[in-house]
Amino acid sequence: MPLKPLKHFTNRQLRRALARFSTRETEVVLGEGRALRMTEVVDAYALLDRMITQEARLGPRPERFPYWAELWPSSVGLARWFWEQRPGAPSEGVRELGCGVGLVGVALALLGWRVEATDYIETALAFASFNARTNGAGENHGIAYLDWREPAGPPVACMVASDVVYEAQNHPCLCKVLHHLLLPGGCFFLADPQRPAARHFVAILEQQGYGHQVETRAVQWKALEHRVDIHIFTKP
């Protein structure tokens, strides 16, 4: 079953959403002759301080550190990997999990994939949509809210995510998403900067019968070199 018609923010909605933050535009080189202009929050820690102040006034909110607000080496590595490998686009489209500011989904949309970028934080969806539009990927790129605790939507044959298994307590919810929303025989591409928690998640999926391959890439990002694992899981 293909994805539903892609949802988009209006230009006015995007302007209002991004106006609440101090932002910067960061260049991400995907390959020779191709770079993206990605808008992210200038200081995620300053944003965290603001969230704590809001919690004191309005009461606790479910989100903690705003991981969605900035680019991470794993997303850079996965976007570059897809840009280099250029696998064929699945006919049903691809669902991006925990999209953040949307780098991987934007890269895939520019490769001709039909992308549904999902996140639990609505503001992240606005940033992802804005970045898709800025880089000319809007026609192939849409957004959708997704709560891993209550996964809903049509199952697809391909999912992608980067740096989303850093806490073991989230693994059961992600497994639930894969159970309900990834078709049998489908692929799940996961990038992770070799965090210890990732080994636990890999073991869970292998015990469930998933096929597993992994490729390690060196990613130069913000003057540092990172080792990023690209995991490819195949659902039984």
Tell me which long-range contacts 83-89 makes (C-beta under 8 A, separation of at least 24): 83/30, 83/31, 83/34, 83/107, 83/111, 84/31, 86/111, 89/113, 89/114
| pLDDT of 138 | 81
* Residues of the chain above pLDDT 70, percent: 90
| pLDDT of 47 | 55
Rounded to an integer, what distance in angstroms lies between the CA atom of residue 236 and that of residue 208?
A: 8
Radius of gyration for the alpha carbons in the chain, expressed in angstroms and rounded: 17
3-state secondary structure of 118: strand
User: So what CATH class is 11-234?
Assistant: alpha beta
User: Beta strands of 46-150 (E only): which ranges?
Assistant: 94-97, 115-119, 141-145
CA-based nearest residue to 33, from 110, 97, 91, 103: 110
**Beta-bridge mates of residue 229:** 192, 216
Tell me: the pLDDT tens digits for 51-84?
Answer: 555 554 445 554 557 788 899 999 999 999 999 9
Better-predicted residue by pLDDT, 142 or 50: 142
N- to C-terminal Cα separation, the chain: 18
| pLDDT of 56 | 43
Tell me: the pLDDT tens digits for 20-38?
Answer: 999 999 999 999 889 999 9
CA-based nearest residue to 140, from 96, 97, 78: 96
91 pLDDT band, cuts 50/70/90, is: confident
| pLDDT of 54 | 53
48 pLDDT band, cuts 50/70/90, is: low
